[in-house]
Structure 1
Amino acid sequence: MVQALSRSGPRPAAPPGRTLGLTLLTATAPASWGTTYLVTTEFLPTGHPLVSGVLRALPAGLILLAFTRRLPRGAWLWRSLLLGTLNIGALFTLLFVAAYRLPGGVAATLTAVQPLLVVGLAFLLLGEKPTRWRLAWGAVGVLGVGLIVLRGTLAFDLLGVLAGVGAAGVMAAGIVLTKRWGRPEGAGPATIAGWQLTAGGLVLVPLALAFEGLPPALDLPAIGGYLWLGVVGALLSFVIWFNGIGRLPVVAVSFLALLSPAVATILGWLFLDESLTPVQGLGFVLAFAAIAAAQLTPAAVRNLFHRGA
């Protein structure tokens, strides 16, 4: 899969008949990111989130650089550094801060506002006018994620809240700028993923050394966890993600990120004996409805109903 994507240069938007398949493929990226919480809590050493970010991003980026054998040049030197900082370095750091200072449900709900931020940035940078349809479904998505992950007494910490909103903001900016700049001639999504993962990992290295020191000794479960996060959660997923951003409507793609907290909750139920309530079930319905509806337009929905009738 990586080899096929790496050979492709800038590709046109997917034809209508293939959009569903491409959307489902792209959805596997945020779905894989939903495994991060389970893998981190069950297999990785505690107290080293920044080191974990480096080990997740940098080896994957270097492997892709070796595979594609292409380095950024010209304007793509600073673009790759900026996009890698937004999509990888800053995002990972802010997510870790939010996770440590807020209950997981609050942090996930704050980052779920990302599709709404993408709507605004897409209007400013891409000229895509926001529609009431997607704004409304963006609000439904936030509500759905909130019902899925919010539990018990809420606790708010100003720095944690700012980090959660900041994580949503940098991810939204990264998505829109990736769409705006596209790819240089002959560069496939594997090339772009390699540039950004390497840049983002390098940005995290000094932070990890300053605040956490050298990586701790790793046992076999930790090695397996890092391999999963690096290969599936970074190398493959970001290649697929950037391919989707390049060929699908940017706002529609942004809604797929709502899958991450949903998958994390399902895995907690399956493997960590976490209970699911009827309210959470309603949250799943709302979140998945928002994801599906964001891929369509009101006209497309009307056509579906007319065909059914």
Structure 2
Amino acid sequence: MSPKLAAEFVLLAALWGASFLFTRQAALEFGPVATAWLRVAVASVALLPVLLLGGHWRTLRRHGGRILFVGLINAGIPFGLFAYAVLSISTGLAAILNATVPLFGAVVAWLWLGERPGCWRALGLALGFTGVALLSWNKASFQSGGTGWAVVACLAATVLYAIAASYTKKHLMGIAPVATATGSQIGAALGLLTPAWLTWPAGPVSARAWLAVLAAGLVCTALAYLIFYRLIESAGPARTLTVTFLIPLFAIGYGAVLLDEPVTPWMVGCGAVILAGVALATGFVDPARLTARHRPAALP
């Protein structure tokens, strides 16, 4: 990866890590559903000119139904679930749970697409889900004031991301990425329009909340999607998806510095277990290949 692409890779992780911070700031006043709707609506408005100038409007119309649907399960509902979650758990914890997307993605691809994981990848799934259990067990209180539902919301969002990934692979391959990105945000905005209207805050909203939701939509969604698809084209999807490993680092840093959120050794340790599992489950680390590489050559 060239230095320029590496810089874009780090920038993408920084932007997506910041999305948890901006989401929390907006959801405190707008509420989860309105925050999610505003985020995707702002992103839709920002991406639409890029779509039109690129000549992809016909592509979007041709595949509109499927693209709009995938937007609802890949952006609209998950964004709302994370907005709900960060009202009661730290943004760093939410980001760590978000890092389980490749784990659920591997399970969904196995069950739906028949992509059976090998031995090491299966071990990675087990390790990753063990990390999730260890991280969540003392937070899974569903009593008043507990954070159990927030953890469930994060994990439900990651499952939806995983389903959307397999759905995209099955039904939307070969479609221009800009059409998919723009159409998915439009679909999410349309799907959340009525719930957002019904839950719109009754009182005035501060400029701080408006700036947070604009940043989430423009920077962490519209701009991030453009960088994401550029990296896929230039560096390939496998390398690009490893951005998952960096997002929690930025989210935890932002939360600690800007929100005074505690960073405990237990959180860091469980996060490391989860990321190790993700590395194995996605094939980012392949012990079999490493072993073969260092195996001595057979004698003639």
Give the structure-1-normalised TM-score.
0.72
- Residue matched to 1:62: 45
For 2:277 and 2:36, the matched residues in 1 are separated by 30
For 1:305 and 1:143, the matched residues in 2 are separated by 30
Equivalent residues of 1:98, 1:163 under 8 A apart:
yes
Report deviation, 1:206: 0.9
* AA of the residue aligned to 1:170: L
Is the alpha carbon distance of 1:77 and 1:95 closer, same or farther for their aligned partners in structure 2, counting shifts above 3 Å?
A: same
Counterparts of 1:228-243 in structure 2 under 5 Å? 228-242=215-229
- Residue matched to 2:157: 167
For 1:32 and 1:112, the matched residues in 2 are separated by 15
For 2:275 and 2:65, the matched residues in 1 are separated by 36
* Offset from partner CA, 1:169-195 (integer Å, 9 cap, x none): 21111112223334455x2x2232111
- Residue matched to 2:34: 51
Matched, 1:117 2:113: no
- Residue matched to 1:298: 287
Q: Which runs of 5+ in 2 are unaligned?
A: none
**What secondary structure is seen at the aligned counterpart in 2 of 1:73?**
helix
Equivalent residues of 1:34, 1:263 under 8 A apart:
yes
* AA of the residue aligned to 2:291: R
Report deviation, 1:131: 2.1
Equivalent residues of 1:103, 1:154 under 8 A apart:
no
Report deviation, 1:106: 7.7
More off after superposition, 30-39 vs 76-85: 30-39
- Residue matched to 1:15: none
Report deviation, 1:151: 9.5
* AA of the residue aligned to 1:302: T
- Aligned counterpart in structure 1 of residue 22 of structure 2, from 16, 39, 55: 39
Equivalent residues of 1:125, 1:180 under 8 A apart:
no
Report deviation, 1:85: 0.7
Matched, 1:73 2:73: no
- Aligned counterpart in structure 1 of residue 182 of structure 2, from 175, 178, 194: 194
Equivalent residues of 2:103, 2:128 under 8 A apart:
no
Alignment: residue pair count: 283
* Offset from partner CA, 1:13-71 (integer Å, 9 cap, x none): xxxxx599979856754553332332344566524222221221112122212222133
* AA of the residue aligned to 2:42: P
For 1:27 and 1:182, the matched residues in 2 are separated by 27
- Residue matched to 1:155: 141
- Residue matched to 2:212: 225
Is the alpha carbon distance of 1:43 and 1:106 closer, same or farther for their aligned partners in structure 2, counting shifts above 3 Å?
A: closer
* AA of the residue aligned to 1:269: A
Is the alpha carbon distance of 1:215 and 1:288 closer, same or farther for their aligned partners in structure 2, counting shifts above 3 Å?
A: farther
Is the alpha carbon distance of 1:153 and 1:92 closer, same or farther for their aligned partners in structure 2, counting shifts above 3 Å?
A: closer
Equivalent residues of 1:179, 1:245 under 8 A apart:
no
* AA of the residue aligned to 2:259: L
Counterparts of 1:130-279 in structure 2 under 5 Å? 130-144=117-131, 154-156=140-142, 163-184=153-174, 187=176, 189-212=177-200, 216-219=204-207, 221-242=208-229, 247-249=236-238, 253=241, 256-257=243-244, 259-279=246-266
Equivalent residues of 1:113, 1:168 under 8 A apart:
yes
Give the structure-2-normalised TM-score.
0.73
For 1:27 and 1:288, the matched residues in 2 are separated by 17
More off after superposition, 41-50 vs 222-231: 41-50
Equivalent residues of 2:91, 2:251 under 8 A apart:
no
Is the alpha carbon distance of 1:129 and 1:304 closer, same or farther for their aligned partners in structure 2, counting shifts above 3 Å?
A: same
**What secondary structure is seen at the aligned counterpart in 1 of 2:61?**
coil
- Residue matched to 1:8: none
Equivalent residues of 1:50, 1:204 under 8 A apart:
yes
**What secondary structure is seen at the aligned counterpart in 2 of 1:46?**
helix
Is the alpha carbon distance of 1:215 and 1:52 closer, same or farther for their aligned partners in structure 2, counting shifts above 3 Å?
A: farther
* Offset from partner CA, 1:191-219 (integer Å, 9 cap, x none): 32111111112211111001225794442
Equivalent residues of 2:88, 2:150 under 8 A apart:
yes
Q: Percent identity?
A: 27
For 2:291 and 2:65, the matched residues in 1 are separated by 44
